[in-house]
Structure 1
Amino acid sequence: MEFLSTPEFWVAVSFFIFLGALFYFGVHKKVATLLDARAAQIAKELAEARRLREEAEKVLADYRRKQGEAASEADCIIALAAKEAESLAAETRKSVKDHFERRMKLAEDKIARAEQEAVREVRSVAVDAAVAAAQALIAAKLTPDQAEKLVSESIDSLKSKLN
């Protein structure tokens, strides 16, 4: 019985006594209950995490959908703005062209009136010069007898034209 004097034997005996005491007092049931409670708590936390993940995925999907809608709306706004800008540019070009044509027509009309006025003035000056030259010529070459004869011929000619 030599093994009774070895320390390993007594460590083994005390270990088994310790395990026996644990089983006697039901520590294994309490540990199992605690482990079950901890497992239930972990399962509950996992379920909550799963629910939160699903909710986050829904929010992310909603965000991506809204982002897509915003991008398409932005594209529509840009296309509309480009269309309106092109329309405005075309309208402005037409307006400028019409304005230019009106100004050109007004300038041409003004030039034509100025030409007519200049021609009238030249004719008037020419008529005045011709009358003055005719008066000077007539005064220089016409005798009183010839003047009286011309006046009476003109009166006779007028009488025949009026009747």
Structure 2
Amino acid sequence: MAGRKADQGFETDMLLTAEFWVAVAFVAFLVIVWRVGGFSMMTNGLDSRAKRVRHELDEARRLREEAAAVLADYKRRRTEAEREAEAIVAGAREDAERIAAEGHARLNDFVARRTKAAEAKIAQAEAQASAQVRAAAADAAVKVSETLLRERLQGVAAQDLVRASLGDVKSRLQA
């Protein structure tokens, strides 16, 4: 019996400990929560939270893919814009070179025409000056001849001869 009392003492001591009553209260709490449906509410809450997190992850993945597509589109457009800008610059450079060549050709044509016109004016002025010099020389020769013939020839016949000769000389010198 002594052994039995010792065993009962252990059971009594165990019933008086705080840990035992905490364990009993915890088990009772779990039973109450199970009866009320608390476990299903917790699992439903965790499931809904998991669904929400999964949905947010799917949304983030979709947004990341969309951002990657937008970035790829931006890079493609930038590359196209760079190529187009290079083509525009090359075209402008070609146009500028062509315009410069045309301008140079026009300038050369203009200079050639102006040179030709100046040469024509110079030739005309030379011809006119030469004609004026010939006319002046002819007039001077006629006057000198007239003076000499008057001095040497006398009379009416001499005057008629001088006039006829002077007219003939004058017309020959001017032609």
Shorter-normalised TM-score: what interval? 0.7 to 0.9
CA drift at 1:60: 1.9
**1:118 aligned to which of 111, 126, 129:** 129
| CA–CA separation in structure 1 for the residues paired with 2:118 and 2:22 | 126
Aligned to 1:79: 90
Q: Indicate yes or no: 2:88 matched with 1:88.
A: no
- Larger RCO: 1 or 2 (CA < 8 Å, sep 6+): 2
Long gaps (5+) in structure 1:
155-163
CA drift at 1:146: 7.9
The 3-state SS of whatever aligns with 1:124 is helix
Aligned to 2:68: 57
Q: Indicate yes or no: 2:154 matched with 1:143.
A: yes
| CA–CA separation in structure 2 for the residues paired with 1:15 and 1:70 | 71
The residue type paired with residue 145 of structure 2 is A
In the TM superposition, structure 1's runs of 4+ consecutive aligned residues that sit over 6 Å from their partners are none
| CA–CA separation in structure 2 for the residues paired with 1:3 and 1:130 | 170
The number of equivalent residue pairs is 152
| CA–CA separation in structure 2 for the residues paired with 1:134 and 1:58 | 111
| CA–CA separation in structure 1 for the residues paired with 2:16 and 2:153 | 186
| CA–CA separation in structure 2 for the residues paired with 1:51 and 1:43 | 12
| CA–CA separation in structure 2 for the residues paired with 1:119 and 1:54 | 96
The 3-state SS of whatever aligns with 1:143 is coil
CA drift at 1:140: 1.2
Q: Which has the larger radius of gyration?
A: 2
Task: Tell me the C-alpha RMSD between the 2 structures.
Answer: 2.4
Aligned to 1:38: 49
